Structure 1
Amino acid sequence: MALLKVLLLLLLGLGVSVNSDVSLQKRIIGGYDCHATERLYHVRVESSNGTHLHHCGGSLIHSWWILTAAHCWAFEPGWTNEIVINVHPRTAGEQRRMIQQAPVIYTQGGQQHDIMLLALERSITDVPLAPLPDCRHKIRVGHVVQLAGEGATTTGPNNQRLPPGAAIPPHLQCVDMRVVRTSLNVPTRGHVLYAAAPNKDICYGDPGGAAMHNHMIYGVISLGGANACESPVTILNVCEYKDWIRTTLGIH
């Protein structure tokens, strides 16, 4: 063991990058298996062109509608998009796939935001819904949000995120983070808030999933930095879009 430590110090001194077991084996990253009784509304948004397969998360917020991130939809020719229901827990029953054609993306002043609603081809009545937030009690700095997703559970060299299409973990991963900034309008992203926690982060495959607070969907995961655990997670602030969501869904 002493010899190994000496070799590691020598390699670091020579500028050679060394990853510890901790950095190589982080979950969602730094998370835990979501409980089998929570997150039943979580869905998978899959995009494929026959040779490549990418996936995101999403949430069933109405028997006919999914809420997710707009960048999770592949618009390029040759790509198809599907929604997979019953991804958590794995014992929830047979996974059901639905093909979608017409996403509804929030647009303000000609600028699309990274938030999207997907209409299902048939109603889902046997899966619990993710409740919309009570925006009389807005999310604030210091509040804890729970994120979840099926992104990679490991990182690459120097904590780089594994590329889209990495293997899906056997269990949906959850992670708790604390809100560090709120109520920002980023022109290329939308109305966002930021959350972070030491040695915890998201990965490709996690965007689109819900940021839950008090068992309500206060946010939609958008993205993180190029390397894990270097910058807060960007989250779309659902309270800023609640009127648009309700109007689109026909809720009065």
Structure 2
Amino acid sequence: MKRIYGGASATEGQFPYHVLILTLKGGTAFGCSGTILSSSWVLTAAHCMCTEGKTTTRVVIKYGSASQSTALRQEVKRFIVHPRFAKNESPFFMVNDIALLELCAPLDMSLPGVKPICFTKEDLAYSGTVTVTGWGKTSGTIFPESLQHVDLNIYPVNMCKRLYNIFKAGIRDEWNKICTFTKDKYPCDGDSGGPLVAEVSPGCHIQLGITSYGTCTSILPNVATKLSSFADWICESTSLC
């Protein structure tokens, strides 16, 4: 059975911080991923909320389960897109790709499949592997029932930028980006907004990035928003810190 481009299906409770985000824009439904920051706040990518020419009219999250059919639902009261978010005509040159969702009612954090993710203001010199999760495409037009996960290698941003320049699709503001590259393993459509999580010490998992863009192939590295660069904005917007 084909899975998320080199990944596997998650077990119940394995990634309790992950949520599925469903948005209604111009009468069409779109799917993205996100992470639980607290009982009232969810983190995702800005481009999940903003589509040129289409107004987002409704946002719902599904949480608490690795299976879409058994996940709980919660309405989103409002979303906050980073004020300097910008997107080029292509999926590249995306900058400040980060957004926050405030929920209509708090999540029940006592449930076994619900837990917030940790993040840090410190710019960690991390160069290992990260775990990426999502309900994005696993092959062709197939979106999975079960949450998928894959481990990816951190790839140097300067080399990442050099490769994108070859295809005339450079990277701006590379200081707030994280790149990953592992042959035949990558996130794809529908995985945007999902987390890059690292085990920085035994039992300590921290979200380092947010899936932003890529090519759904192994031609180019995947690009993510570096979370530590926006930690102050998250704290100021949510009053969580």
* Superposition TM-score, scaled by structure 1 size: 0.74
AA aligned opposite 2:220: S
Q: Give the stretch that moved more between structures: 187-196 or 169-178.
A: 187-196
The one of 116, 126, 129 aligned to 2:99: 116
Instruction: Report the equivalent of 1:40.
Output: 16
Contact conserved, 2:4 with 2:136, CA < 8 A, in 1?
yes
Alignment size in residue pairs: 214
Instruction: Report the equivalent of 1:173.
Output: 148
Is 1:242 the counterpart of 2:214? The answer is no
AA aligned opposite 2:149: C
Deviations 1:142-178 (A, max 9, x none): x1100011011103xxxxxxxxxx4430210100011
Matches within 5 A, 1:192-203: 192-203=177-188
Deviation at 1:88, TM superposition (A): 2.8
Alignment gaps of 5+ in structure 1 = 1-24, 156-165
Deviation at 1:85, TM superposition (A): 2.7
AA aligned opposite 1:169: P
AA aligned opposite 2:11: H
Change (3 A) 1:188 1:46: farther
Contact conserved, 1:192 with 1:236, CA < 8 A, in 2?
yes
The one of 207, 216, 219 aligned to 2:209: 219
Partner secondary structure for residue 96 of structure 1: strand
* Superposition TM-score, scaled by structure 2 size: 0.77
The one of 175, 180, 190 aligned to 1:205: 190
Q: Give the stretch that moved more between structures: 117-126 or 71-80.
A: 71-80
AA aligned opposite 2:74: R
Change (3 A) 1:47 1:196: same
Which protein is bigger by CA-based radius of gyration?
A: 1
Q: Give the stretch that moved more between structures: 71-80 or 50-59.
A: 71-80
Deviations 1:32-67 (A, max 9, x none): 112322211211221224753211100011111111
Alignment gaps of 5+ in structure 2 = 87-93, 162-169, 200-204
Deviation at 1:93, TM superposition (A): 5.3
Is 1:231 the counterpart of 2:216? The answer is no
Q: Distance in 1 between matches of 2:39 and 2:171?
A: 31
Q: Distance in 1 between matches of 2:2 and 2:105?
A: 37
Q: Distance in 1 between matches of 2:119 and 2:19?
A: 16
Contact conserved, 1:47 with 1:53, CA < 8 A, in 2?
yes
- RMSD (Å) for aligned C-alpha atoms: 3.0
AA aligned opposite 2:211: I
Partner secondary structure for residue 101 of structure 1: strand
Is 1:140 the counterpart of 2:123? The answer is no
Deviation at 1:30, TM superposition (A): 0.7
What is the aligned-residue identity percentage?
Answer: 24
Change (3 A) 1:172 1:208: same
